[in-house]
Amino acid sequence: MSTFYLTTPIYYVNARPHLGHACTTIMADAMCRYRRLAGDRVYFLTGTDEHGERIAQVAAKAGTSPQAYADEIAAVFQETWRRLGITNDDFIRTTEPRHKKVVQEILQRLFDAGEIYFGEYGGWYCYGCERFYTEKEIVDGKCPDHQTALTFIKEKNYFFKMSKYQDWLIKHLEDNPGFIQPERYRNEVLGFLREPLQDLSISRPKSRVVWGIPLPFDDQYVTYVWFDALLNYYSAVTEPPLEKTRGLWDHVQHLIGKDILKPHGVYWPTMLKAAGIPLYRRLNVHGYWSLGGSKMSKSIGNVVEAFQLTDKYGHDAFRYFLLREMNFGLDASFSEEALVERLNADLANDLGNLVSRATTLIAASGPIARVTAPVETADREIAEAAATARATVEQTMRDFAFQKALAGLWAFIGTVNRYVDASAPWALAKDPARRPRLERVLCTLADSLGFLGVMLDPFLPDAARKVREALGRGETPALDAAVMGQLDTVPRVSRVSGLFPRVDTKASHPGPQPKGERAAQGEGETGGGKIPITDFQKVELRVAEVLAAERLPKSKKLLKLTIQVGEETRTLVAGVAEHYDPASLVGRKVVIVANLQPATLMGVESNGMVLAASHEDTVSLLTLDKDVPSGSRVK
């Protein structure tokens, strides 16, 4: 039995779990379920990254303490993973004593060994990323990730002597080609290392940042959030003394998105090396999901919350889409239409129909104690297709290539569907003389379902369980049992229909419509004028502060407003001149539609629309009940 320890990034608690977080966690879950199926001892870790200035800032804005804020969001992450059926063995929070203790012990160890020194550094800092950017990385004077202005900071800090490990790391990457995979990311890290590696500032002065783990050797400083966060992978499995890791550490592999390649590919191995801790086995890096062409991140605001789609289409369909649509290592583009397309084609049509047809046919014939008819070429081909599919899954899962594993399984499903068509069991059933052949065909079908009930388990856990249950197989599935061609009986099978209901794409909006449900909701054929929440979510409502207001010279109705939306200043035209004196609006916070296409009104470009209620002659602007910063989302 081999051991497999897999980690996801620990997610920042300044955002609620969204599609990007769900993608990594679902990939890790599919991998861990697969390794358990293969009989490995598995440890699956996820968690939350809770320190740092950014968290302190959001907490302050929300009028609460960083700890209370972190408690709330960490609970949301835990609840999300529970609802998505994620099988993590542990959930680490960086504010837990078990983590803080390890961070401080390692810091002290590095300090005592002379790996940490006190010095001064000045550089361009992004508060969003909580890191300094080098001149080369800066794009148009802005943070390449957040597209916001950087701040020049000069301060005294503690530094880890990362530069001295540059040559060692290059050699390690060259000698161990599989250390970072896919290869493009190993090359990217080697690319970073072509430039001189700087020492890493691992502290922040308490005068500026208080929300962090105090340095054990200087209480005027807290630990830099990345130095703290990376150590979670180690602190989660250690028991005192530090080196005891329950036999897990030597097997650790990390799964991350490409955005955090540098800390994991450069900082982390050098930190481990300096601390005398064995390096991780492998870093697995996936690409980024984009939504409508732009990168999905909280700062850009085009976030798909993990729940919306699973609640709408089911866990398995959401999971399947994320695993099937992204080529591991490359970027992918998310759209609800593409999800529905995959759901209809691969799940409802290919898999759902096969399961429904096969279970209906087998259930109709009843169990068969002994199938005597010989195995024909067509049956043998199915067993061979199963062996090929299993080999594909085994090979591709070594590289986290979920899409290839699923393509392999769908090739098998396609073969079985064609087998059903060609052997036409419904025709065989009409002719008593062909009963023996019918029994062999049903046996092959039951065997195929048994195979799928095991092989689909990591990817579609709910559907795989339903298939196994239909065959009366209650036991925990095992990869070893995924072998076809050894069956001469047909079990009692219960019919499974509607494993994945088709989604009607002809309706005005996509959404699953199990029979009868629409009527029950009181919706007519056209949806009763109601829209799905996803339509509403396309409208970006935000709080804006009016900085200046003036009448448009030639218009009785229009005011030109200069407004602040978060860090952005824009101009918009509002038709409220007859109801509001411009001066009375300055300094007020209103609600705007922030993602309207610009329109020119009386020669002024308007970027957005102010919301107001109207009744007869009264027009009333939407304002806020409590104060929140401009840029806040309204939903």
Which residues of the chain form contacts with ligand MSP (CB under 6 A)?
9-12, 20-21, 23-24, 49, 229-230, 232, 256-257, 259-260, 288-289, 296-297
**Distance in Å, CB of 81 to ligand MSP, minimum:** 13
Choosing from 142, 295, 466, 557, the catalytic residue is 295
129 in active site: yes
Nearest distance, CB of residue 290 and ligand MSP, angstroms: 7
Decide whether 32 or 368 has the Cβ nearer to ligand MSP.
32
> Would you call 18 a catalytic residue per the annotation?
yes
Token pair belonging to 228: 């703290």
Task: Take residue 583 and report the two structure tokens written for it.
Answer: 């001066």
Nearer to ligand MSP, 316 or 325 (CB): 325
| The one-letter amino acid at 590 | V
Whole-angstrom Cα distance, residue 280 to residue 5?
10
Catalytic pick among 21, 99, 251, 273: 21
Strands 252-257 and 282-286, by their bridges, are parallel
* CA 413 to the chain's CA centroid: 27
Catalytically annotated residue among 51, 99, 100, 129: 129
Residue from 32, 51, 100, 126 carrying the catalytic annotation: 126
Q: Is 295 a catalytic residue?
A: yes
Residue 363 burial (CB count, 10 A): 16
Edge to edge, the sheet with strand 218-223 lists 203-205, 218-223, 214-215
User: For this structure, is 23 an active site residue?
Assistant: no
- Nearest distance in Å: CB 295, ligand MSP: 6
Out of 161, 258, 262, 298, the active site residue is 298
Smallest gap from Cβ 202 to ligand MSP, in A, equals 14
Our CB check for ligand MSP shows the closer of 46 and 359 to be: 46
| 42 Cβ contact partners less than 8 Å away, ≥ 6 residues apart | 3, 4, 5, 6, 32, 35, 36, 89
- Which alpha helices (H) appear in 336-475, and where do they start and end? 336-342, 353-365, 377-397, 402-423, 425-428, 435-455, 461-470
Tell me if 513 sits within 8 A of 544, measured CB to CB: no
Pick 20 or 450: Cβ nearer ligand MSP: 20
Cα(444)–Cα(461) distance, rounded to whole angstroms?
A: 23
Q: Report the residue number, 86 or 382, with the smaller CB distance to ligand MSP.
A: 86
CB 272 within 8 A of CB 278: yes
User: How far is 597 from 412, CA to CA, in rounded Å?
Assistant: 47
**Does residue 21 carry a catalytic annotation?**
yes
Which of 23, 32, 99, 143 is catalytic? The answer is: 143
Q: What angle do CA 549, 553, 556 make, to 5 degrees?
A: 85
Q: How far is the CB of 28 from ligand MSP (least distance, A)?
A: 9
d(CA 500, CA 346): 10
State the Cα–Cα distance between residues 457 and 463, nearest whole angstrom. 8
Task: Give the number of other CB atoms < 10 A from CB of residue 594.
Answer: 24
Cα separation, 424 vs 148, in Å, equals 63
- Cβ proximity to ligand MSP: between 200 and 371 the closer is 200
Q: For ligand MSP, which residue has the nearest CB? A: 20
Smaller CB distance to ligand MSP: residue 49 or 379?
49
Smallest gap from residue 291 Cβ to ligand MSP (A): 8
Query: Which residue of the set 146, 161, 172, 466 is catalytic?
Result: 146
- The minimum distance between CB 45 and ligand MSP, in angstroms, equals 11
**Peptide bond preceding 17 in cis form (omega within 30 of 0):** no
Q: Residue 443 catalytic?
A: no
Tell me if residue 146 is catalytic: yes
Catalytic residue IDs: 18, 21, 126, 129, 143, 146, 295, 298
